A and B are shown apart, each in its own frame.
Chain A
Amino acid sequence: MKRAFPILAILTAILLSYGLYQALVIAPTEQTMGDVQRIFYYHVPSAWTAGVLFFINFVASIVYLARRNSNVDALALAAAEVGVVFCTIVLVTGPIWARPVWGIWWTWDMRLTLTLVLWLIYVSYLMLRRFSTSGQTPVIAAVLAIFGTLDMPLVYFSIWFFRTQHPQPVMGGGGSIDPRMLHAFLVNLIAFTCFGLLVCWSRYRLEVLRREVEEQQALESLLELRSPR
């Protein structure tokens, strides 16, 4: 994986550049919203990638509770952190898109509110990991992550369950899409997923290394205490 990483990073960069070109140049301009609709090519793939990363966090948290493996816990932390970054992008690009289309930056409708709640749950997860000194922190964090994941299907299905300002999904919602728009969307979806997984992998490696260094430093301190002066 160490050797493959630079190759994967270059491939992802090419894919992201191609996605940007597709979104800004090739995809046709939407008739009702105009150019601002192109935010869709970044907003939706970011939401999808955040969902994938929170799902990895969910699976890793369950595995951690079952096996108490430190590396799995590191993966859960990495996935949550990178997931929060992508979820932040969703919460930033959404209002920027809403302002010219709806005339407002924000409305407390179900989809938007539940997405904000999801973001807050994972931010509190990261704060718990950062500031708690208890030995039980990974266990408490894993339980919080499992409960946090319950919000994900609510976010997704909220547009069917409730009357919301947020539009129905283009795919699976009964709408149709221009093939060039679909192509641009799928390229960006794949590019953002690869980018998210690659950053998550880097964060995971960093976390594993950090834990090894901390262990070594603790060992050094113990040896210094025990050695005769």
Chain B
Amino acid sequence: MTYLYAAYIATWVIHIAYLTSLLRRYSRLRNEINELREKH
């Protein structure tokens, strides 16, 4: 069972890490968009 849980946990850790990186990139982009709007 240890190997089974390890595989399932590893799968979701990789997915969650990638989704978190996407969210970070999105929020960074939002800040840049706000900065551009403030300039105008």
Q: Mark A185-228, 1 if CB is under 8 A from B, else 0.
A: 00000000001000100110010011001001100100000000
Bitwise, B1-33 to A at CB < 8 A (1) or not (0) is 101101110110011001100100110010011
B3-A206 in contact (CB<8A) = no
20 contacts between A and B (CB under 8 A): A35-B1, A38-B4, A39-B4, A39-B8, A46-B11, A89-B11, A92-B10, A92-B14, A93-B7, A96-B6, A97-B3, A97-B7, A99-B3, A195-B15, A199-B19, A202-B22, A206-B22, A213-B32, A213-B36, A217-B36
The interface residues of chain B, by DSSP majority, are classed as helix
With contacts A85-B14, A85-B15, A206-B22 known, is A43 near B36, CB below 8 A? Answer: no
Q: Spell out A's residues near B (CB within 8 Å).
A: 20, 24, 35-36, 38-39, 42-43, 46, 82, 85, 88-89, 92-93, 96-97, 99-100, 195, 199, 202-203, 206, 209-210, 213, 216-217, 220
- Docked Cα-Cα span, A99 to B4, in Å, equals 11
Instruction: Out of B8, B19, B39, name the residue touching A220 (CB < 8 Å).
Output: B39
Interface size class of B (residues with CB under 8 A): 20 to 34
Task: Provide the residues of chain A in CB contact with B33, threshold 8 Å.
Answer: 213
User: What's the least CB distance linking B11 to chain A, in Å?
Assistant: 5
Q: What's the nearest-Cβ distance from chain A to residue B39, in Å? A: 7
- Complex-state Cα separation, A213 to B19, whole angstroms: 21
Instruction: Give complex CA distance A199, B36 in Å.
Output: 27
Residue A96 contacts which of B7, B14, B25, B26 (CB distance < 8 angstroms)?
A: B7
CB-CB under 8 A from B7, the residues of chain A are: 39, 42-43, 92-93, 96-97
Q: How far is the CA of A202 from the CA of B15 in the complex (A)?
A: 14
Q: What's the nearest-Cβ distance from chain A to residue B15, in Å?
A: 7
Q: Are A89's CB and B14's CB within 8 A? A: yes
CB–CB B18/A85 < 8 A = yes
Whether B32 and A39, one on each chain, are in contact in the complex, defined by CB atoms closer than 8 angstroms, is no
Q: Are B32 and A217 in contact (CB under 8 A)?
A: yes
Given contacts A39-B3, A85-B15, A97-B3, contact A206 B25 (CB under 8 A): yes
Q: Quick one: closest B residue to A39, CB to CB?
A: B7
Q: How far is the CB of B4 from chain A (nearest CB, A)?
A: 5
The contact of A203 among B4, B8, B22, by CB within 8 Å, is B22
Q: In this complex, what residue of A is CB-closest to B8?
A: A42
Q: In the bound complex, do residue A96 and residue B3 qualify as a contact, i.e. CB atoms below 8 Å apart?
A: yes
